Amino acid sequence: MNASNLGNENTAIGHYSGYSCDGNRNVFLGNNADVPANIYGINNSVAIGYRSKVSASNNIIIGSDSSTFRSSVGIGLRSTGQYIANSKFGNRC
């Protein structure tokens, strides 16, 4: 985590994990697990996995969304562009 972050009660394990987060009570597990750039005030959320990004409060994201592979599991999603696990035909939310 970045020492200048304004958030409280966050947990980050991994290189640059939670580096951009300014929200509260979040968990980041994995190298570069974080919130997306220019997204502020994410609270009560979890990002698990290499380069996983959580972009809304009260969400859990497992897996990354990179150009080389796309594997995401979302619980309580409110953001577009994420896949739901076991969704028929891989439809987006």
Q: What is the mean pLDDT of residues 55-84?
A: 65
Higher pLDDT pick, 89 / 7: 7
CA 32 to chain centre: 10
The b/e string for 64-84 (b: 16+ C-beta within 10 A; e otherwise) is bbeeeeeebbbeebeeeebbe
- Name the token pair of 41: 């005030």
Distances (CA, A) of 93 to 6, 11, 32, 57, 79: 31, 28, 24, 16, 8
19 is a domain residue: yes
**Structural domain harbouring 50:** 1-85
* Residue % of the chain over a pLDDT of 90: 40
How many structural domains are present in the chain?
Answer: 1
48 is a domain residue: yes
90 is a domain residue: no
93 is a domain residue: no
Q: How confident is the model at residue 92 (pLDDT cuts 50, 70, 90)?
A: very low
29 is a domain residue: yes
pLDDT tens readout for residues 21-66: 899 999 999 999 999 988 999 999 999 999 999 989 998 888 876 5
79 is a domain residue: yes
Alpha helices in the chain (DSSP H): none
